[in-house]
C-alpha cells in the first residue's frame, strides 16, 4: 500500500497518524450506533458488530457469568450477520483499496471483525491501533500542540460568497477549511437549513484537526465565524489563531448577495418554506411581530428575492456590522464576478505561503 510516503502496516494494524495521511481508504466503525452517534472518525461508516441492545446484553453476561459466557453470547448475536458484514465490506472495497476498522479501544470487537473478514477471504482490512479512545487522545494532543497556524481569514457580510470561495479554493488545491460544513450550521437562525443534521463537539474537533494535519503546515484559508456555530464551539487555540491571522474583506453588490441567498436557501433546496418560516418566527423578539408576519407573507407568495433583500437590510447586516468593523484588513476585495475574488485571494495565498517557508 502506497500513498506518497509509504505507510508500513504490521499484523493487520495501522497507526492513527498513518490513517489520517492515507487517501485511498474507507473507515469502518464497528461500535454500536449509540457510540457512533456520540462521536466517530470523520467519514467513518457504522457497521455495528453488536447493536445497542446486544452490546448491553453481552455486558450483562460478562458481569454475571464471566468472559467465556459473554463470548458465546456475542457469537450468537454476530453469526447471523456474517453474510451482511461480508457483502458490505466487498461493496466498500469496490471504491477503496484499504479498509480501516476500529472499535472503542482497539480490542475484541475490531479484532473479531478483521479476523472474520480475513477468514472469509476479504483482504486489505486493517485494525486501528488503540481504537477511538487513542484516536481522540491523538486529536486532543494535536490541538494542544498547535502553535502558530497561518490562517487567511475571509470576512464579509452575508451573501458575499465566503463559503463558495472556500470550496472553489479547495478545488484549486489551496488548503481551506469550511467550518460551516464541519459544524453542519451557518451560525444564524437560518444556520441549520441545508444541512443533514447536527454534529457533535467530538466530530467537529476531529474534522478540524485532521484538516489542519493534512495541510502540512501550509497557510489555511478559513471563513470568519463566531466561536460558537450551532451546537459546537471552535477550539480556543484555533479561534485565537483565526483572530491573529491575515484578514481579507469581501464586498459585492446587494443584487449579488440576495441572489446568492435565494440560490443557497431556496433554489438548491426545494420544499424549504416551512424551515424558512420556522427560522423567521425566531426573529420576533429582534424585529417585531409585524415585520416577521410580512416576511412570512413573502415566503408564502414565493417572493424570495424581496425576502432576501429585507433580511439583509434588517437582520443580517446590523447583526454582523460590529464583527466586520473590528478588524484591520490586509486586502479589501470589491468584486462583481466571484472568479475575480478567487483570483485575488489565490495570489495573496501564494504571497503568504512564500513568507512562511
Q: Per mean pLDDT, which range of 28-42, 158-172, 183-197 is the poorest? A: 183-197
Domain of 162, in residue numbers: 146-356
Report yes or no: 349 and 332 within 8 Å, Cβ to Cβ: no
Listed in sequence order, the DSSP H helices in the chain are: 16-21, 33-38, 52-65, 67-78, 82-92, 108-119, 131-145, 162-171, 179-183, 201-214, 236-243, 254-262, 273-281, 284-287, 289-300, 304-311, 317-325, 338-356
Q: Mean pLDDT over residues 5-27, rounded?
A: 78
Give the number of other Cβ atoms within 10 Å of residue 103's Cβ. Answer: 26
Domain at 111, CATH number:
3.40.250.10
* Same domain? 337 vs 193: yes
Going by C-beta distance under 8 Å and a sequence separation of 6 or more, which residues neighbour residue 241?
Answer: 146, 148, 149, 151
Q: Please give the Cα distance from 160 to 178 (Å, whole number).
A: 15
pLDDT given at position 188:
73
Please determine, for residue 344, whether its predicted confidence score (pLDDT) is greater than 90: yes
Last residue of a domain, one of 141, 165, 191: 141
Candidates 245, 255, 230; CA nearest to 312 is: 255
* Same domain? 103 vs 175: no
Please determine, for residue 180, whether its predicted confidence score (pLDDT) is greater than 50: yes
Q: Mean pLDDT over residues 329-348, rounded?
A: 97
Last residue of a domain, one of 89, 123, 141: 141
pLDDT in tens, 229-263: 888 999 999 999 999 999 999 999 999 999 999 98
pLDDT given at position 158:
93
Candidates 251, 259, 261, 40; CA nearest to 154 is: 251
Q: Please give the Cα distance from 301 to 245 (Å, whole number).
A: 44
pLDDT given at position 330:
97
* Same domain? 102 vs 183: no
Q: Mean pLDDT over residues 271-284, rounded?
A: 87
* Same domain? 33 vs 83: yes
| Confidence at 10, pLDDT banded by 50, 70, 90 | very low
* Same domain? 130 vs 175: no
Q: How many domains does the chain have?
A: 2
Give the number of other Cβ atoms within 10 Å of residue 215's Cβ. Answer: 16
* Same domain? 56 vs 39: yes
- Going from the C-alpha of 184 to that of each of 24, 54, 164, 179, 198, the distances in angstroms are 25, 31, 15, 8, 6
pLDDT given at position 357:
65
* Same domain? 132 vs 153: no
Coil, helix or strand at residue 219: coil
Q: Please give the Cα distance from 337 to 2 (Å, whole number).
A: 41
Candidates 225, 246, 243, 244; CA nearest to 234 is: 225
- Tell whether the torsion through CA atoms of 311, 314, 315 and 318 is positive or negative: positive
* Same domain? 311 vs 178: yes
pLDDT in tens, 71-110: 999 999 999 999 999 999 999 999 999 999 999 999 999 9
Please determine, for residue 17, whether its predicted confidence score (pLDDT) is greater than 70: yes
Average pLDDT score, the chain: 91
pLDDT given at position 270:
64
**pTM for the predicted model, two decimal places:** 0.87
pLDDT in tens, 34-66: 999 999 999 999 999 999 999 999 999 999 999
Candidates 237, 208, 207, 198; CA nearest to 38 is: 198
pLDDT in tens, 299-321: 999 999 999 999 999 999 998 89
Return left, alpha or beta for 216; rule: phi > 0 is left, psi -120 to 50 is alpha, else beta. Answer: left
* Same domain? 211 vs 128: no
Burial of 170 (0-12, 13-18, 19+ CB in 10 A): middle
* Same domain? 251 vs 236: yes
Last residue of a domain, one of 117, 141, 165: 141
* Same domain? 86 vs 135: yes
pLDDT given at position 6:
47
Return left, alpha or beta for 60; rule: phi > 0 is left, psi -120 to 50 is alpha, else beta. Answer: alpha
Q: Per mean pLDDT, which range of 163-172, 218-227, 259-268, 272-281 is the poorest? A: 259-268
With a pLDDT cut of 70, the percent of the chain lying above it is 94
Cell numbers that stand for 30 in this block: 464497528
Domain at 212, CATH number:
3.40.50
Q: Mean pLDDT over residues 173-180, rounded?
A: 96
> Strand pairing of 45-46 and 25-29?
parallel
pLDDT given at position 269:
62
* Same domain? 63 vs 124: yes
Report yes or no: 298 and 306 within 8 Å, Cβ to Cβ: yes
Amino acid at each position: 500500500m502506497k500513498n506518497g510516503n509509504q505507510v508500513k502496516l504490521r499484523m493487520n494494524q495501522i497507526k492513527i497518524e498513518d490513517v489520517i495521511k492515507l487517501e485511498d481508504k474507507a473507515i469502518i466503525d464497528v461500535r454500536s450506533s449509540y457510540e457512533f452517534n456520540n462521536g466517530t472518525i470523520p467519514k467513518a461508516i457504522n457497521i455495528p458488530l453488536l447493536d445497542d441492545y446486544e452490546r448491553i446484553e453481552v455486558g450483562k453476561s460478562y458481569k454475571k457469568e464471566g468472559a467465556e459466557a459473554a463470548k458465546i453470547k456475542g457469537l450468537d448475536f454476530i453469526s447471523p450477520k456474517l453474510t451482511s458484514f461480508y457483502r458490505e465490506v466487498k461493496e466498500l472495497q469496490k471504491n477503496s483499496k484499504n479498509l480501516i476498522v476500529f472499535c472503542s479501544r482497539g480490542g475484541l470487537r475490531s479484532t473479531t471483525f478483521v479476523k472474520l473478514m480475513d477468514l472469509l477471504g476479504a483482504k486489505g482490512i486493517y485494525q486501528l491501533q488503540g481504537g477511538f479512545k487513542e484516536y481522540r487522545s491523538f486529536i486532543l494532543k494535536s490541538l494542544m500542540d498547535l502553535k502558530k497556524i497561518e490562517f487567511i481569514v475571509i470576512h464579509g457580510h452575508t451573501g458575499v460568497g465566503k463559503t463558495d470561495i472556500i470550496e472553489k479554493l479547495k478545488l484549486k488545491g489551496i488548503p481551506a477549511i469550511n467550518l460551516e460544513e464541519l459544524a453542519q450550521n451557518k451560525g444564524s437562525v437560518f444556520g441549520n437549513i441545508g444541512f443533514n443534521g447536527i454534529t457533535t463537539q467530538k466530530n467537529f474537533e476531529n474534522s478540524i484537526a485532521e484538516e489542519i494535519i493534512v495541510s502540512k503546515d501550509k497557510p489555511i484559508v478559513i471563513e470568519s465565524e463566531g466561536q460558537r456555530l450551532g451546537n459546537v464551539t471552535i477550539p480556543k487555540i484555533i479561534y485565537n489563531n483565526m483572530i491573529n491571522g491575515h484578514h481579507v474583506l469581501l464586498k459585492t453588490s446587494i443584487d449579488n448577495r440576495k441572489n446568492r441567498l435565494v440560490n443557497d436557501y431556496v433554489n438548491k433546496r426545494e420544499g424549504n418554506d416551512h424551515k424558512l418560516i420556522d427560522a423567521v418566527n425566531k426573529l420576533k423578539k429582534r424585529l417585531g411581530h409585524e415585520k416577521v408576519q410580512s416576511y412570512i407573507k413573502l415566503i408564502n407568495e414565493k417572493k424570495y428575492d424581496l425576502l432576501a433583500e429585507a433580511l439583509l437590510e434588517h437582520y443580517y447586516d446590523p447583526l454582523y456590522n460590529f464583527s466586520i468593523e473590528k478588524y484591520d484588513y490586509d486586502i479589501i476585495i470589491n468584486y462583481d464576478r466571484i472568479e475575480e475574488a478567487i483570483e485575488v485571494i489565490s495570489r495573496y495565498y501564494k504571497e503568504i505561503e512564500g513568507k512562511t517557508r
